[in-house]
């Protein structure tokens, strides 16, 4: 079992561990990672990661992959710095606001119940493919106004963009191929909506045709970059986070028994599992020469700010590697921090809460029957999680 497969049983590994020159470096709050052509700084303590994400004037979000300092793409709004970033957040905010998300709760509960009812009698499932990638994807496609029946095709494109291993030209070519397929799909969808608009449509793609920034209509290029980012996030993040939550509960009987007996604990349990198993490991590019948390940074340097490290900082969270359902309020930053904090956090929390409530009301006891397989990268996730229940 490799490093990342082992991590699935205890929590995510940190990107690039295999390339660190000395295991002793893991004890330091910052070190130089030699991955990629130029390498990059890697901060591992909560305070430095939080400050880095909160100060875009020091650390630009125009680059978010530490091994790719000059990317041939711009995902909007995550790769846009203030003040333009706030203008994009504003046009997107209404679709992910707490009030709008709460209004979808009953529909989310119905979708979760139907999906779980379909598999409960089977006594087992491959959770990632049959459940985790299906439930949140249906919700996302409804929000976007995209056809559910093309989900398998969409997930193939998602895998090309986000789940390729390696740093070479071949891996990048596959990623760009996936992006090209998604962008081509959205361009066709935009053309279709313009040619045949529906006055009753309330999905994001239909609304995006009316968006303005600084009083000007959004260009097709910027619109496609924004829809591309929504596509990647909507089909991957909750699926990955939910898979880690179920892996934890399947391998920690006491925690699972508690939420079955006390379902009101589920929101608290989700916050703890978000802290211990964060999936996003982002990066930034230095805008100036500076000393940052004792590190001599030069303008243009790349730095990784892994949220997996922030949530496991023992100086902030005692027994940080443990999920403690009695910990109380956890000041985790698993949804990021600063102006680029995850716009979909309210939606993700609700999806996870509703799903865990419905699952444990129907399948209170289950177990892992095969070794889970995990992928690393900028977004951690499980490729497989085989669960069984009943006799």
User: What confidence tens digit (pLDDT) does each residue in 95-132 have?
Assistant: 999 999 999 999 999 999 999 999 999 999 999 999 99
Highest mean pLDDT among 47-61, 149-163, 325-339, 363-377: 47-61
Residue 169: inside a domain, yes or no? yes
Residue 106: inside a domain, yes or no? no
Residue 78: inside a domain, yes or no? no
> What is the structure's pLDDT at 173?
87
Residue 199: inside a domain, yes or no? yes
Residue 250: inside a domain, yes or no? no
pLDDT in tens, 207-266: 999 999 999 999 999 999 999 999 988 888 999 999 999 999 999 999 999 999 999 999
Cβ-based burial of 219 (10 A; exposed 0-12, middle 13-18, buried ≥19): exposed
Q: Which long-range contacts (CB under 8 A, 24 or more apart) does 173-177 make?
A: 176/72, 176/73
Question: Could you give the CA distance from residue 142 to residue 58 in angstroms, rounded to a whole number?
Answer: 38
**Helix axes 220-234 and 169-195, enclosed angle (nearest 10):** 110
pLDDT classification of 311: cutoffs 50, 70, 90: very high
Helix, strand, coil proportions of the chain in percent (round to 5)?
Answer: 50, 10, 35
Domain that holds residue 217: 134-234
Q: Give Cβ neighbours of residue 269 (< 8 Å, ≥ 6 apart).
A: 245, 255, 258, 259, 323, 325, 356
Strands 40-43 and 302-306: parallel
Residue 127: inside a domain, yes or no? no
pLDDT in tens, 367-387: 999 999 998 877 889 999 999
pTM exceeds 0.95 for this model = no
Residue 326: inside a domain, yes or no? no
CATH number, residue 138? 1.10.630.10
Nearest to 202 by CA among 97, 99, 342, 94: 94
pLDDT classification of 28: cutoffs 50, 70, 90: low
Q: Which two tokens stand for residue 109?
A: 């509960």
C-beta separation of 384 from 128 below 8 A? yes
How high is the mean pLDDT of the chain? 89
Residue 172: inside a domain, yes or no? yes
| Domains of the chain: total | 1
The answer, yes or no, to whether residue 329 has pLDDT greater than 70, is yes
């Amino acid at each position: 079992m490799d490093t990342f497969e082992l991590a699935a049983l205890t929590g995510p590994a940190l990107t690039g561990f295999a390339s660190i020159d000395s295991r002793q470096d893991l004890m330091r709050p910052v070190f130089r990672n030699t991955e990629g052509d130029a390498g990059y700084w890697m901060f591992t303590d909560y305070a430095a990661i939080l400050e880095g994400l909160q100060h875009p004037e020091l650390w630009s979000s125009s680059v978010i992959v530490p091994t790719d300092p000059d990317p041939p793409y711009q995902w909007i709004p995550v790769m846009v710095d203030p003040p333009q970033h706030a203008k994009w957040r504003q046009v997107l905010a209404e679709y992910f606001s707490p009030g709008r998300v709460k209004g979808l709760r009953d529909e989310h509960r119905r979708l979760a119940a139907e999906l779980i009812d379909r598999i409960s009698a089977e006594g087992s499932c491959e959770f990632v493919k049959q459940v985790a990638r299906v439930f949140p994807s249906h919700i996302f496609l409804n929000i976007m106004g995209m056809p559910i029946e093309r989900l398998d095709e969409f997930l193939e494109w998602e895998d090309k963009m986000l789940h390729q291993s390696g740093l070479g030209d071949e891996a990048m070519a596959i990623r760009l191929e996936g992006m090209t397929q998604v962008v081509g799909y959205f361009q066709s969808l935009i053309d279709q909506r313009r040619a045949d608009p529906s006055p009753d449509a309330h999905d994001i793609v239909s609304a995006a045709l009316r968006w303005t920034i600084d009083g000007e209509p959004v260009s097709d290029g910027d619109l496609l970059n924004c829809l591309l980012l929504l596509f990647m996030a909507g089909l991957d993040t909750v699926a990955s986070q939910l898979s880690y939550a179920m892996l934890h509960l399947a391998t920690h009987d006491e925690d699972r028994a508690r939420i079955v007996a006390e379902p009101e604990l589920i929101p608290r349990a989700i916050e703890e599992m978000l802290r211990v198993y964060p999936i996003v490991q982002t990066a930034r590019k230095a805008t100036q020469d500076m000393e940052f948390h004792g590190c001599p940074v030069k303008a243009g340097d790349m730095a990784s700010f892994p949220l997996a490290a922030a949530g496991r900082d023992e100086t902030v969270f005692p027994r940080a590697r443990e999920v403690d359902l009695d910990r109380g309020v956890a000041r985790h930053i698993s949804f990021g921090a600063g102006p680029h904090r995850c716009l979909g956090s309210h939606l993700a929390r609700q999806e996870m809460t509703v799903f865990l409530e419905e699952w444990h009301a129907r399948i209170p006891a289950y177990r892992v029957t095969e070794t889970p397989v995990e992928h690393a990268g900028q977004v951690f996730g499980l490729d497989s999680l085989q669960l069984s229940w009943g006799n």
